[in-house]
């Protein structure tokens, strides 16, 4: 793969979480520095690309559930990443064309691609904010005006919180509490996160974590189920609760045997009563 010309707004000397994720999914919107991160992780766990694949599949199923079964028509997608074949707005607007989606990211390439994609979509918009600074994000004029904060909203944090590097300065649970406190009753929260399964696959999880943390990307923490559950701050988890992403309301028979990566990413959806 040869790199295309680098846009002036993009620093191709440093890996981007969004571009690394794109590279894991086999996309074309990434650079050599991003692929180096992917290669180093794959040397530790050859199946690691399934972290991205299962995260994406969980996002699609969760969005479809929220739109079809929970009747949610407003979505705040934090850390939306580069556009792929099925995005949050295409899934939920396929169920209800009146659904509104606000994407949030601060990666220049994500912003450029998304704005071009959404140029004529009046129901979907992307804003540039730091998703780990909820107070600032929630005061954003577009976030406030595009969503009705008196009606239920679905907050999506898919594959984001394990990239929060300021855990000691501000715990991820505290970040999520700020989001959850701002949500109206009847809202939903969906989270996916790298998982330390606390079994024979823990060693692989921690090896992948070591590679992520010591790569130029510098983030990617694997947490236990108990640690991930705390991110919901006591909200009521929707059945089947916090499980491996591959096991969350699968739409057909799952794989007969899960590989290490499929065992090392979990997700859940919760409701605020």
Token pair 């991160």: residue: 37
- Give the pLDDT of residue 2: 44
How many CB atoms are closer than 10 A to CB 233? 17
What is the tally of helices (H) and strands (E) in the chain? 10, 8
CA distances from 62 to 108, 155, 191, 218, 224 (A): 27, 11, 10, 28, 21
What does the pLDDT look like over 83-132, one tens digit per residue?
877 899 999 999 999 999 999 999 988 998 899 888 888 899 999 999 99
**Contact yes or no for 104/131 (Cβ under 8 A):** yes
Q: Coil, strand, or helix at residue 71?
A: coil
Question: Given this model, what pLDDT does residue 6 score?
Answer: 59
| Proportion of the chain above pLDDT 90, given as a percent | 81
Confidence check: pLDDT of 248 > 90: yes
Q: Is the pLDDT of residue 1 over 80?
A: no
pLDDT, mean of residues 131-156 = 98
Candidates 20, 70, 49; CA nearest to 190 is 70
Does residue 244 surpass a pLDDT of 70? yes
Instruction: Render 17-69 in DSSP notation, one character per residue.
Output: HHHHHHHHTT-SS--HHHHHHHHHHHHH-TTTHHHHHHHHHHHHHHHHHHHHT
Question: Which pTM was predicted?
Answer: 0.93
Q: What does the pLDDT look like over 203-214, one tens digit per residue?
A: 999 999 999 999
> b or e along 39-53 (b: 16 or more beta carbons within 10 Å of the residue's beta carbon)?
ebbbebbebbbbbbb
pLDDT of residue 189: 98
Classify 92 as helix, strand or coil.
Answer: helix
User: pLDDT value at position 84?
Assistant: 77
Q: Is the pLDDT of residue 8 over 60?
A: no
Give the pLDDT score at 7: 61
Tens of pLDDT, residue by residue over 220-233, are: 999 999 999 999 99
* Range with the poorest average pLDDT among 42-51, 189-198, 237-246: 42-51
d(CA 133, CA 176): 10
- Cα 161 to Cα 78, 86, 157, 169, 262: the distances in Å are 10, 22, 7, 14, 18
Quote the pLDDT of residue 116: 87
pLDDT of 175 reads 97
How far apart are alpha carbons 207 and 82 in whole angstroms?
26
């Amino acid at each position: 793969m040869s790199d295309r010309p680098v846009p002036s707004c993009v620093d191709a000397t440093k890996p981007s979480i969004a571009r690394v994720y794109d590279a894991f999914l086999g996309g074309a919107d990434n650079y050599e520095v991003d692929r180096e991160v992917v290669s180093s992780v794959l040397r530790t766990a050859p199946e690691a690309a399934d972290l991205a694949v299962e995260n994406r599949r969980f996002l699609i199923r969760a969005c479809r559930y929220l739109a079809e079964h929970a009747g949610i028509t407003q979505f705040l997608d934090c850390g939306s990443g580069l556009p792929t074949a099925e995005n949050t707005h295409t899934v939920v607007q396929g169920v209800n064309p009146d659904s509104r989606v606000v994407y949030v990211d601060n990666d220049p390439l994500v912003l450029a691609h998304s704005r071009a994609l959404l140029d004529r979509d009046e129901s979907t918009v992307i804003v540039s904010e730091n998703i780990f600074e909820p107070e600032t994000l929630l005061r954003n004029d577009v976030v406030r005006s595009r969503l009705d904060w008196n009606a239920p909203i679905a907050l999506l944090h898919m594959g984001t919180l394990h990239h929060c590097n300021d855990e000691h300065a501000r715990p991820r649970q505290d970040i999520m509490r700020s989001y959850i406190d701002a949500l109206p009753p009847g809202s939903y929260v969906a989270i996916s996160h790298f998982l330390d399964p606390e079994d024979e696959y823990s060693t692989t999880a921690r090896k992948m974590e070591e590679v992520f943390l010591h790569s130029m990307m510098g983030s990617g923490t694997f947490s236990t189920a108990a640690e991930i559950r705390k991110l919901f701050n006591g909200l009521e988890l929707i059945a089947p609760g916090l499980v491996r992403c591959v096991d969350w309301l699968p739409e057909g028979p799952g794989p007969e045997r899960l590989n290490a990566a499929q065992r090392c990413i979990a997700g859940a959806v919760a409701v605020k009563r």
